[in-house]
Amino acid sequence: MRVLALVEAHDGASARLRVARWLPWLREHGVDVALEEIVRSGPRRWLQLGRAARFDAVWLQRRLLQPWESAWLRRCSRRLVVDLDDAVWRRDHAPFRSRGRSWRARALFRRADVVVAGAATLARELEELGVRAVVLPTPLDGGAVASAPPRSFAPTPTLAWIGQPSTWRYVAPVVRAWPAIRAALPTARFVAMGSAAAEAGSSAPDRGDGDGIERRTWSPDAEAELLREAWLGLAPLPDDPWTRGKCGARLLSYLAAGLPAVASRVGAQAELADEFGGESSGAHGSLRDWPSDGALASTLVDALTAEGARPSAERSAIAHARAAQVAARRALERLGPRLLAALVGDSAGADGVAATRPAR
């Protein structure tokens, strides 16, 4: 089987986590994927979409096309699968409603053979557009998790946040609470990766320039190093129409590294919290709920103190158990049949959710 995968950018988080991560597994199961960035609008894009006729299926990740482009892609595609990990028919800030995006989204989704959502919460949000989606969580490479170097743990209490510049605003309460955290734990560090914090706002308290706050440029190796040394991961999110459609990639990366976290129960993060958060999950209480701004400093200090009170061997064993549990439930091998069902058209493997007959 030959599949054309169209993504926004090869190095984008969505393409890496929801498409590229699948490629070796799909190859082992007889699926040859041609991964391409969607070219800019114009004749070259029309030619690229027209090449869909050479493939058995098209796997369009996240990108909204113009209605006339999605009509052309539908005409040229034997099977069209649209994969989403955000509520892309909305803006990521107020006002969230976008008539233009909703118009393009409806035109695309109604032409798809199946729409794949990265979380059940996103699938529920899609219902407002009349879309019934197949749920396929973001997978993990279990082998890579198992072979990862053991956690090294920084010698001093270390908070970690990994994100894009556009989401730095979600971490502003941590920056404002930082003086109180440092007063309680003078050696504490807050490492923000990929934040571009110096450009994130005009007010000094939110820029992330305080003592003990460190900004790092993102790369796969740098992220892996931070996840090994951090004591606690941060995953704050406000509860709004955009964040309710997010699929929890940041929090999932913390959990897959065995890193405990403090996270908002919003979007897919609520699903992850229910599945992995409590003592009953076997994850040794790996998740704490994000507190109010007034309680933020004390919550983070308590969490860091609790982690530091554990002997090193115990911390390493707990981290390994957490990572193994998450990797087993999000393994490529476990989730793969759902993806194959979506690409091939086997509704029996798609969680019982069949796509409506597409408009052609």
What average pLDDT does this structure show over 203-232? Answer: 83
pLDDT band at 349 (very low <50, low <70, confident <90, very high): very low
Sheet containing strand 114-117, edge to edge, reads 32-37, 2-7, 57-61, 80-84, 114-117, 134-135
pLDDT for res 207 = 58
Pairwise pLDDT comparison (194 vs 184), residue with the higher score:
184
The CA distance from 21 to 18, in Å, is 6
pLDDT at 276: 85
> What pLDDT score was predicted for residue 196?
53
Question: How would residue 126 be classed by pLDDT, with cut points 50, 70 and 90?
Answer: very high
The region of weakest confidence among 63-77, 104-118, 159-173 is 159-173
Is the pLDDT reported for residue 199 higher than 70?
no
Mean pLDDT, residues 42-53 = 96
The sign of the CA dihedral 128, 129, 133, 139 is: negative
- What pLDDT score was predicted for residue 195? 61
- Residue 354, pLDDT above cutoff 50: no
- Residue 171's Cβ-count burial label (10 Å; 0-12, 13-18, 19+) is buried
Q: Are 112 and 90 in contact (CB under 8 A)?
A: no
Both structure tokens of 76:
């040229």
Instruction: Give 53-110 pLDDT, tens digit per residue.
Output: 999 999 999 999 999 999 999 999 999 999 999 999 999 999 999 999 999 999 999 9
The closest alpha carbon to 162, from 220, 201, 247, belongs to 220
pLDDT band, residue 209 (cuts 50/70/90): low
- For 259-296, what is each residue's pLDDT tens digit? 999 999 999 999 999 988 754 444 455 789 999 999 99
Lowest-confidence region among 48-52, 281-285, 286-290, 315-319:
281-285
pTM above 0.95, yes or no: no
CATH number assigned to the domain with residue range 2-138+332-349, chosen from the 4 options 3.30.360.10, 3.40.50.1970, 3.40.190.10, 3.40.50.2000: 3.40.50.2000
Residue with the bigger pLDDT between 150 and 89: it is 89
Listed by start position, the domains of the chain span 2-138+332-349, 143-329
Q: What is the average per-residue pLDDT within 233-251?
A: 96
Q: Indicate whether 348 pLDDT > 90.
A: no
Q: State residue 275's pLDDT score.
A: 87
Whole-number mean pLDDT of the chain? 89
pLDDT at 149: 84
Cα end-to-end span (Å), the chain:
22
Query: What is the fold of 143-329?
Result: Rossmann fold (3.40.50)
Asked, colleague to colleague, whether 2-138+332-349 and 143-329 share their fold, the answer is: yes
Rounded Cα gap, residues 35 and 61, in angstroms: 11
